[in-house]
Amino acid sequence: MGNCLDSPARVDAHATPASVVSKSSSKASRSSNLSSLAIPLSYNDSSLPTPRSEGEILSSPNLKSFSFNELKSATRNFRPDSLVGEGGFGYVFKGWINEITLTASKPGTGMVIAVKKLKQESFQGHKEWLTELDYLGQLHHPNLVKLIGYCLEGENRLLVYEFMAKGSLENHLFRRGPQPLSWATRVKIAVGAARGLCFLHDAKSQVIYRDFKASNILLDAEFNPKLSDFGLAKAGPTGDKTHVSTQVMGTHGYAAPEYVATGRLTAKSDVYSFGVVLLELLSGRRAVDKMKVGVEQNLVDWAKPYLGDRRKLFRIMDTKLEGQYSQKGAYTAAYLALQCLTTEAKMRPRMSEVLAALEQLEAAKTSTRSSLTQHHRTQTSAANFHAPNLKPCTPSLPSPRGARTH
Ligand SMILES: Nc1ncnc2c1ncn2[C@@H]1O[C@H](COP(=O)(O)OP(=O)(O)OP(=O)(O)O)[C@@H](O)[C@H]1O
Ligand SMILES: [Mg+2]
C-alpha cells in the first residue's frame, strides 16, 4: 500500500535526515497528490501497493463522512469536560453516536466514540490526517484501533474512532493516579501490541508503522491494546529493495538509530521501537526523561547493561510492581528487548519472532511470587537461560547513535 501523497522522487529527495522530526513539528505538505488512480486496494490483495487519490480515500465504503454539526452534538459542543487528551495533531473528545445509524445520540447513550479534532492552526497536519484515513480505512485487526469515520468541512478536519476506555499506555505507565499495571497486564499489552505490529509487517504489502510508542498504544476496558495514529505509516520496500528512504519522522527516544542517521526505513525500525516500549513496560520509565540526569535521561542507554544479566535485572524493574512479577518472565522480556535494540538492524528479530517469544512467555503463566524473595535463587540459574526461539546476542552492545531532539 503506498503513501498516497509521496511520489517516489519526493521520498528520495528527503533521504538525508538531520534529526527526528516529531509529528507535531513535521512540515506535512497540504499540496497533496490528487492524481486519480481508480484502482481499489486491499491489503489482502497480492498486487503491489497502489497510491490512492484524496477523493478515493475519502469515499472509502468503510468510513462514514460526518458533518461538523453532527460531531458537535455528539461531543456536547466539544465541551472542555468532554476532552480526554491532547496530542501533536489536536484534541481528543469523548462523544456518543447511535451504533446503527451512526448519527449523534444523547450523551451517555449508544456507542462511545473518540473524536480527534485537528488544531485549527495546524493546517500542516492534513497529510497525516489523510494518511491515517488511508491506512485505517483499509486495515482491520483486533489490535489496531477502529476508525469509524471523519469530517472534512472547510478548515475542520476530524477523525472518529472507537473509544478506548482505559486511554493510552503512557497514562498508565508514567502518570500518577491510575492503579499501577500488574505484571500480567504488562505482558498482555506487550503481546497484543506485538500482534498489531506483526499484522502490519506481514501484510502482503508491508506497512511500516514508524510511530510505535506508549502514547500510541490505546487500551480498551479489558486492557487489550490497540495501535493508533497511522499518520506516519509508510509502505514497506517492494521488489528487491531492502528499505524505503524517507525524511526522518517519529519520536525521539523511540526511533531506531540507523533510521535517524540515514533515513533508511525498514520493518526493523519498528522492531527497535518495540524494544523501547518493552523496556518502558519493564522499568516504568519514559524512553527519554529530561528530569533525570546523565545516562538515565535515555532509557536504552541506561538499561542496556542490565538486560542480559539476570542477577542485575531487578535494578531496572519498575518499583511500582513492588517485586510482584515472574523473574523468569521478566528476564525473557528483558532479553527480548535487548535483541530488539541490537544496533545492527539486520540482527534484530522479526516481529513474528518477537510475538512468538512473548506468547510463550504469556502461556507459561510463570509465578508472580515476589521477585525479592527469589532473588538469590535466580543467581544460580541465570547462566542457563535464553529467550525462546531467539539466538543469544552479544553481551555488550554499542549504544545507538544519532537520535537527537528536535
Ligand atoms: N480512540 C481513543 N479513545 C480514547 N482515548 C483516546 C483515543 N485516541 C486518543 N485518546 C487519548 O487522547 C490522547 C491524545 O492522543 P493523540 O493521538 O492525539 O496524541 P499522542 O498520541 O499523545 O501524541 P502524538 O500526537 O505524538 O501521537 C491519548 O494519549 C489518549 O489518552
Ligand atoms: Mg497518538
Query: Is 406 contained in some domain?
Result: no
Same domain, 232 and 306: yes
Could you tell which of 166, 218, 227, 405 is best to mutate to test the pocket of ligand 1, judged by most ligand atoms within 8 Å of the CB?
218
On the question of pLDDT at 36 being above 80, the answer is no
Q: Is residue 117 part of a domain?
A: yes
| Same-domain check for residues 70 and 192 | no
Ligand 1 binding pocket mutation candidate from 22, 118, 143, 168 (most atoms within 8 A of CB): 168
Model-level pTM? 0.81
Q: Predicted confidence band at 24 (pLDDT cuts at 50, 70, 90)?
A: very low
Mean pLDDT of 374-386: 37
pLDDT band per the 50, 70, 90 thresholds, residue 9:
very low
Q: Are 198 and 190 in contact (CB under 8 A)?
A: no
* Domain identity same for 197 and 345: yes
Could you tell me which residues are beta bridge partners of residue 144?
A: 227
Residues 35 and 156 in one domain: yes
**Ligand 1 site, residue 131, Cβ cutoff 6 A:** no
Tell whether the model's pLDDT for residue 383 goes beyond 70.
Answer: no
Does 80 reside within a domain? yes
- What type of residue sits at position 312? K
8 Å CB contact between 243 and 270: no
Last residue of some domain: 121, 143, 162?
A: 162
Question: Could you tell me if 96 and 183 lie in one domain?
Answer: no
Question: What's the 248 CA to ligand 2 centre distance in angstroms?
Answer: 18
Ligand 1 centroid from CA 380, angstroms: 44
Does residue 339 sit in the same domain as residue 195? yes
Q: What percent of the chain has pLDDT over 70?
A: 76
**Residue where a domain stops, chosen among 147, 162, 177:** 162
How far, in Å, CA of 3 to CA of 234, rounded? 6
113 DSSP β-pair partners: 95, 162
CA 100/CA 107 separation, integer angstroms: 16
For residues 9 and 121, membership in a common domain is answered with yes
Examine the domain organization and report whether 146 and 177 are in the same domain.
no
Q: Is the same domain home to 98 and 182? A: no
Q: At what angle do helices 267-283 and 351-364 cross, to 10 degrees?
A: 30
Q: Whose CA is nearest to atom 15 of ligand 1?
A: 87
- Residue pLDDT, tens place only, 65-112: 999 999 999 999 999 999 999 988 889 999 999 999 998 898 889 999
Q: Please identify, among 141, 162, 183, the residue that sits at the C-terminal boundary of a domain.
A: 162
402 falls within a domain: no
User: Which domain range does residue 42 map to?
Assistant: 3-162
Q: Are residues 142 and 200 both part of a single domain?
A: no
Grid coordinates 528520495 are at which residue? 12
Instruction: In whole angstroms, give the CA distance from residue 111 to residue 141.
Output: 19
How many CB atoms are closer than 10 A to CB 396? 9
Element (H, E) at 136: helix 126-136
Q: What CATH number corresponds to the domain at position 110?
A: 3.30.200.20
Do both 83 and 192 map to the same domain?
A: no
Average pLDDT over residues 216-236: 93
More confident residue, 329 or 405: 329
Catalytic residue set: 211
Residue 394 lies in a domain: no
406 pLDDT above the threshold of 80: no
Residues 104 and 179 in one domain: no
* CATH label of the domain that carries residue 223: 1.10.510.10
pLDDT at 35 over 70: no
Mean pLDDT confidence for 302-323:
96
Q: How far apart are CA 330 and CA 371, in angstroms?
A: 10
Flag whether 375 is in a domain: no
314 in a structural domain: yes
Determine the distance separating the centroid of ligand 2 and the alpha carbon of 111, expressed in angstroms.
22
Residue 237, ligand 1, Cβ within 6 A: no
Nearest CA to ligand 1 atom 13: 85
- Any long-range contacts for 346-351 (C-beta under 8 Å, 24+ apart)? 346/268, 347/393, 348/268, 348/271, 348/272, 348/275, 349/271, 349/390, 350/201, 350/267, 350/271, 351/194, 351/197, 351/198, 351/201, 351/202, 351/267, 351/270, 351/271, 351/274
How many domains does the structure of the chain reveal? 2
- Confirm whether 81 is domain-assigned: yes
Evaluate if residue 13 carries a pLDDT over 90: no
Cβ(164) – ligand 1 distance below 6 Å: yes
